[in-house]
Amino acid sequence: MEETAKNEHQWGMLLDQLKKEDINAFRTEYLDMHPYDQAQFFQEQGRDERLLIYGYLSPEEVAEIMENIEIEDIEPFFSEMDPRFAAMVFADMSTDDAVDILNELSKDKVASFLTIMENDASDEIKQLLHYEEKTAGSIMTTEFISIFKEQTVKATMAQLKKEGPDAETIYYLYVVDEDKRLVGVLSLRDLIISEEDTLIEEILSEKVVSVSVAEDQEEVAKMMRDYDFLAVPVVDFQDHLLGIITVDDILDVMEEEASDDYSKFAAITDNERPNENALISAKKRLPWLIILLFLGMLTASLIGRFENTLDQVAILAIFIPLIAGMAGNTGTQALAVAVRGLATGEYGKQGKFKLILREAATGLITGTVCGIVITLVIYLWQGDIFLGLLVGISIMATLVVATLAGSLVPLIMDRLNIDPAVASGPFITTINDIISILIYFGMATAFMGFLI
Which of 202, 228, 246 is a domain's end point?
A: 246
In Å, how far from its chain's centre is CA 435?
A: 31
| Residue 261 falls inside a structural domain | no
Using the predicted structure, report yes or no on whether residue 263 has a pLDDT greater than 70.
no
Q: Is the dihedral of CA 425, 426, 429, 435 positive or negative?
A: negative
Residues 30 and 123 in one domain: yes
Tell me how many degrees the CA angle 252-256-403 measures, rounded to the nearest 5: 135
Measure Cα distances from 398 to 326, 331, 450 in Å. Answer: 8, 10, 21
> pLDDT over 70 for what percent of the chain?
83
Using the predicted structure, report yes or no on whether residue 1 has a pLDDT greater than 50.
no
Radius of gyration of the chain (CA): 30
Using the predicted structure, report yes or no on whether residue 275 has a pLDDT greater than 70.
no
How confident is the model at residue 74, as a pLDDT? 87
Segment 130-143 mean pLDDT: 86
Residues 275-286, buried b or exposed e (16+ Cβ, 10 A)? eeeeeeeeeebe
Residues 344 and 433 in one domain: yes
Confidence at 6, pLDDT banded by 50, 70, 90: low
Name the pairing type of β-strands 231-235 and 172-176: unpaired
Residues 334 and 434 in one domain: yes
Residues 37-54, buried b or exposed e (16+ Cβ, 10 A)? ebbbbbeebeeeebeebb
Residues 305 and 355 in one domain: yes
How confident is the model at residue 315, as a pLDDT? 72
| Residue 370 falls inside a structural domain | yes
Number of domains observed in the structure of the chain:
3
| Residue 285 falls inside a structural domain | yes
Instruction: Output the domain CATH number for residue 334.
Output: 1.10.357.20
The predicted-structure confidence for 142-187, as pLDDT tens digits, reads as follows 888 999 989 999 999 999 999 888 888 888 899 998 888 999 999 8
Which of 130, 160, 182 is a domain's end point?
A: 130
Confidence at 213, pLDDT banded by 50, 70, 90: very high
Confidence at 116, pLDDT banded by 50, 70, 90: confident
Using the predicted structure, report yes or no on whether residue 3 has a pLDDT greater than 70.
no
Name the pairing type of β-strands 211-212 and 231-235: parallel
Confidence at 108, pLDDT banded by 50, 70, 90: confident
How confident is the model at residue 333, as a pLDDT? 80
Q: Which residues contact 40 (CB under 8 A, 6 or more apart)?
A: none
How confident is the model at residue 127, as a pLDDT? 80
Residues 186 and 224 in one domain: yes
Segment 269-275 mean pLDDT: 55
Residues 295 and 205 in one domain: no
Q: Is the dihedral of CA 110, 115, 116, 122 positive or negative?
A: positive
Range with the largest mean pLDDT of 314-328, 333-347, 418-432: 314-328
Distance linking the first and last C-alpha atoms of the chain: 69
Residues 447 and 309 in one domain: yes
How confident is the model at residue 372, as a pLDDT? 92
C-beta pairs of 45-50 under 8 Å, 24+ apart in sequence: 45/15, 45/18, 47/80, 49/15, 49/18, 49/19, 50/77, 50/80
Instruction: Output the domain CATH number for residue 161.
Output: 3.10.580.10
| Residue 253 falls inside a structural domain | no
DSSP one-letter code for 57: S
Lowest mean pLDDT among 256-270, 338-352, 378-392: 256-270
The predicted-structure confidence for 250-259, as pLDDT tens digits, reads as follows 887 777 766 6
Q: Which residues contact 166 (CB under 8 A, 6 or more apart)?
A: 143
d(C-alpha 115, C-alpha 120), whole Å: 12
Using the predicted structure, report yes or no on whether residue 272 has a pLDDT greater than 80.
no
Compute φ and ψ for 141, nearest 5 degrees: -120, 150
Q: Which residues contact 165 (CB under 8 A, 6 or more apart)?
A: none
Compute φ and ψ for 75, nearest 5 degrees: -55, -45
Using the predicted structure, report yes or no on whether residue 451 has a pLDDT greater than 70.
no
Which of 66, 95, 130 is a domain's end point?
A: 130
| Residue 401 falls inside a structural domain | yes
Q: Which residue has the higher pLDDT, 7 or 232?
A: 232
| Residue 67 falls inside a structural domain | yes
Lowest mean pLDDT among 15-24, 200-209, 233-242: 15-24
Q: Are 406 and 381 in contact (CB under 8 A)?
A: no
How confident is the model at residue 153, as a pLDDT? 92
d(C-alpha 322, C-alpha 328), whole Å: 10
How confident is the model at residue 326, as a pLDDT? 82
The predicted-structure confidence for 323-355, as pLDDT tens digits, reads as follows 878 887 888 788 777 777 776 666 655 567 787
Q: Which residue has the higher pLDDT, 237 or 410?
A: 237
The predicted-structure confidence for 25-79, as pLDDT tens digits, reads as follows 889 899 999 988 999 999 988 898 899 899 999 999 999 999 888 887 888 898 8
Residue 82 backbone zone (phi > 0: left; psi -120 to 50: alpha; other: beta)? beta
Q: Read off the amino acid at residue 125.
A: I
| Residue 166 falls inside a structural domain | yes
How confident is the model at residue 343, as a pLDDT? 66
Segment 272-300 mean pLDDT: 67
What is the helix (H) or strand (E) element at residue 109, kind and residue range? helix 107-116
Lowest mean pLDDT among 23-37, 115-129, 135-149, 409-423: 409-423
Segment 213-224 mean pLDDT: 88
| Residue 268 falls inside a structural domain | no
Residues 237 and 167 in one domain: yes
The domain in which residue 207 lies consists of 146-246
Using the predicted structure, report yes or no on whether residue 288 has a pLDDT greater than 90.
no
